[in-house]
A and B are shown apart, each in its own frame.
Chain A
Amino acid sequence: MTSLSRRQLLGSAAAIGVASAMPRLAGARTPDDTLVIADKIDDIVSLDPAESFEFSGNDLINNVYDTLVELDPENLGALVPGLAESWSLADDGVTYTFVMRKGVTFHSGNPVRAEDAAWSLRRAVKLNKTPSFILTQFGLTPDNVDRQVTFEGDRLTIVTDKPYAPSFLYNCLTAAIASVVDKEEALAHESDGDMGHGWLKTNTAGSGAYRLRAYKPSDSYLLEANDAFWRGAPAMKRVFLRHVAEPATQRLMLEKGDVDIARRLTPVDIDGIAGNPDVKVQAEPRGRIMYIALNQKVAPLNNPKVVEAFKYLIDYDGMAGSFLKGAYVPHQSFLPKGFLGAIEDRPYRLDVAKAKALLAEAGVGPFTVRIFVRNDQERLEMAQSLQSTLAQAGITAELRVGTGKEILGEYRARNHEIYLGAWGPDYPDPHTNASTFAWNPDNSDEAKLTGVLAWRNAWPATETHALVEAAVLEKDTDKRRALYEEMQRIHQRVSPFAEMFQEIEQVALRANVNGFVAGGAIHSVFYWKVTKA
Chain B
Amino acid sequence: MRDRDALTDTALPGPAGAAGADSAPPRPLAGAVLRRLRSLVGLVVTLAATLVGLLAVTFLIGRVVPIDPVLAILGERASAEQYAAAREALGLDRPLIEQFAIYVRDAATGNFGTSLLTANPVIDDVRRVFPATLELATIATILGVLLGVPAGVLAATRPGSITDQIVRVVGLMGYSMPVFWLGMMGLLLFYGMLGWVGGPGRLDAVHEMMYEFEVPARTGMILIDTALAGEWEIFRNALSHIVMPAGVLAYYSMAYISRMTRSFMIEQLGQEYVTTARVKGMPEWRVVWVHALGNVMVPLITVIALSYANLLEGSVLTETVFAWPGLGLYITNALLSADMAAVMGSTIVVGAAFILLNLASDLLYRLIDPRARA
Chain A interface residues toward B at CB < 8 A: 1, 4, 7-8, 10-12, 14-15, 18-19, 22-23, 25, 29-31, 34, 36, 38, 42, 45-46, 53-54, 128-131, 133, 198, 201-202, 214, 216-220, 222, 238, 240, 242-246, 248-249, 252-253, 255-256, 258-259, 402-403, 405-406, 408-409, 412, 426, 448, 450-451
Contact = CB atoms under 8 A, between A and B. Distances in A.
A14 B185 contact: yes
Contacts of B337: 405
A246 B179 CA distance: 14
Interface residues of B, number: 59
Contacts of B64: none
B184 to A, nearest CB: 5
B76 interface: yes
A249 B117 contact: no
B119 to A, nearest CB: 4
Nearest to B183: A11
Nearest to B330: A218
A240 B209 contact: yes
Interface stretch (B148-156, B157-165, B269-277, B313-321): B313-321
A135 B120 CA distance: 28
A409 B200 CA distance: 35
Interface string B107-134: 0000000011111100001001000000
A160 to B, nearest CB: 20
B200 A219 contact: no
Contacts of B118: 202, 217-218
B95 interface: no
Given A242-B323, A405-B67, A406-B67, A23 B206 contact: no
B87 to A, nearest CB: 12
Given A240-B209, A246-B323, A18 B73 contact: no
Contacts of B208: 220, 240, 242
A30 B200 contact: no
Contact of B117 (A7, A218, A244): A218
B78 interface: yes
A4 B317 contact: yes
A417 B204 CA distance: 48
Interface string B320-353: 1111010001100100111000000000000000
B82 A22 contact: no
Contacts of A258: 199, 204-205
B193 interface: yes
Contact of B73 (A31, A45, A214): A45
B104 interface: no
B223 interface: no
A249 B68 contact: no
B199 A253 contact: yes
9 contacts: A11-B178, A11-B181, A19-B192, A202-B118, A216-B325, A217-B125, A249-B322, A426-B77, A450-B80
A450 B86 CA distance: 15
Nearest to A424: B76
Given A22-B188, A405-B337, A131 B200 contact: no
Contacts of B180: 7-8, 10-11
B76 A252 contact: no
A130 B71 contact: no
A1 B205 contact: no
A243 B80 contact: no
B84 to A, nearest CB: 10
A244 B205 CA distance: 13
A242 B78 contact: no
Contacts of A36: 205
B15 interface: no
A245 B117 CA distance: 16
A-B residue pairs, 5 tightest by C-beta:
A217-B118, A201-B119, A219-B325, A448-B80, A244-B323
Given A11-B181, A53-B77, A243-B323, 16 more contacts: A7-B178, A11-B178, A42-B117, A45-B116, A130-B82, A214-B212, A218-B117, A219-B128, A222-B212, A242-B323, A244-B323, A245-B320, A258-B204, A405-B68, A409-B67, A426-B77
Contacts of B178: 7, 10-11
B193 A23 contact: yes
A431 B320 CA distance: 39
A240 B204 CA distance: 11
Nearest to A23: B193
A10 B333 CA distance: 22
Nearest to A217: B118
B191 A405 contact: no
- The residue in B72, B79, B212 that gathers the most chain A C-beta atoms within 10 A of its C-beta is B79
B321 A11 contact: yes
Contacts of B316: 4
Given A34-B205, A249-B322, A409 B68 contact: yes
B195 interface: yes
Nearest to B332: A1
B41 interface: no
A195 to B, nearest CB: 15
Interface string B189-230: 101110100011100111011001000000000000000000
A27 to B, nearest CB: 12
Contacts of A131: 77
Interface string B31-60: 000000000000000000000000000000
Nearest to B198: A258
A269 to B, nearest CB: 12
Contact of B192 (A22, A31, A34): A22
Contact of A451 (B78, B188, B321): B78
Contacts of A218: 117-118, 325, 329-330, 333
B74 interface: yes
A86 to B, nearest CB: 32
B237 to A, nearest CB: 11
A222 B209 contact: yes
Contacts of B248: none
Nearest to B83: A450
Given A10-B181, A14-B181, A23-B193, A249 B321 contact: yes
A19 B188 contact: yes
Contacts of A255: 192
A130 B78 contact: yes
A59 to B, nearest CB: 16
Given A30-B205, A34-B205, A34-B206, A253 B317 contact: no
A240 B205 CA distance: 7
B320 A8 contact: yes
Contacts of A222: 209, 212
B119 A451 contact: no
Given A201-B119, A448-B80, A18 B323 contact: no
B283 interface: no
Contacts of A249: 184, 187, 200, 320-323
B313 to A, nearest CB: 16
Nearest to A36: B205
Contacts of A409: 66-68, 71
B196 to A, nearest CB: 12
A23 B180 CA distance: 23
A256 B72 contact: no
B75 interface: yes
Nearest to A244: B323
B248 to A, nearest CB: 13
A246 B321 contact: yes
A188 B63 CA distance: 38
B241 to A, nearest CB: 11
A18 B78 contact: no
B320 A246 contact: yes
A510 B317 CA distance: 27
B113 to A, nearest CB: 14
A30 B205 CA distance: 8
B333 A252 contact: no
Contacts of B191: 252, 256
